[in-house]
Amino acid sequence: MQELHGYYLEDLEVGMSDSFAKTITDADVCLFAGVSGDTNPVHINDDYAKTTQFEKRIVHGMFSAALISTVAGTKLPGPGAIYIDQQIKFRAPVFIGDTAKATLTVEEIDTRRRRVKCKTDVTVADKLVATGSATFMVDSKA
């Protein structure tokens, strides 16, 4: 993998995996709310969040998906890969102060169509908080 170009299709193998972890701060959540426009009070209002089943503010679910995108765009398949689709199931909340780790694992490679399917998981400690799969278009060396 190069700095400005990730893996080529021919360099990928089923089972390859990479990850990215981030400790999520209050500032991250507020910035994400501003950028996305998702100002749901469960994410940004302490008083409101105390009245919910979570009893405190939770991180946007799509923030977890953004961590998956970070792995895809910077590590595996890496720069140059194009996101085609993502299926995701949110299984548990992520809270401010948690360290969320997104991991992509190559599951299938379709050389004819230049598509790579990856398992996508996000964990906090050993707890799975989001899971799914994604497909990427990846350049061929040819």
Does 19 fall in a domain?
Answer: yes
Alpha helices per DSSP H over the chain: 26-36, 41-44, 46-50, 61-74
Q: pLDDT tens, 10-53?
A: 999 999 999 999 999 999 999 999 999 999 999 999 999 999 99
Domain with 107, as residue range(s), is 9-24+63-137
- pLDDT at position 1: 54
As given in the structure block, the two tokens for residue 62 are: 């799509």
Distance CA 75, CA 79 (A): 7
Query: CB 129: neighbour CB atoms within 10 A?
Result: 21
What's the whole-model pTM score? 0.93
Peptide bond between residue 41 and the one before it cis (omega within 30 degrees of 0): no
Domain count, the chain: 1
Residue for token pair 């595996």: 76
Does 81 fall in a domain?
Answer: yes
Does 87 fall in a domain?
Answer: yes
CATH of the domain at 97: 3.10.129.10
Does 56 fall in a domain?
Answer: no
Does 124 fall in a domain?
Answer: yes
Q: pLDDT tens, 47-72?
A: 999 999 999 999 999 999 999 999 99
Does 104 fall in a domain?
Answer: yes
Does 44 fall in a domain?
Answer: no
Does 49 fall in a domain?
Answer: no
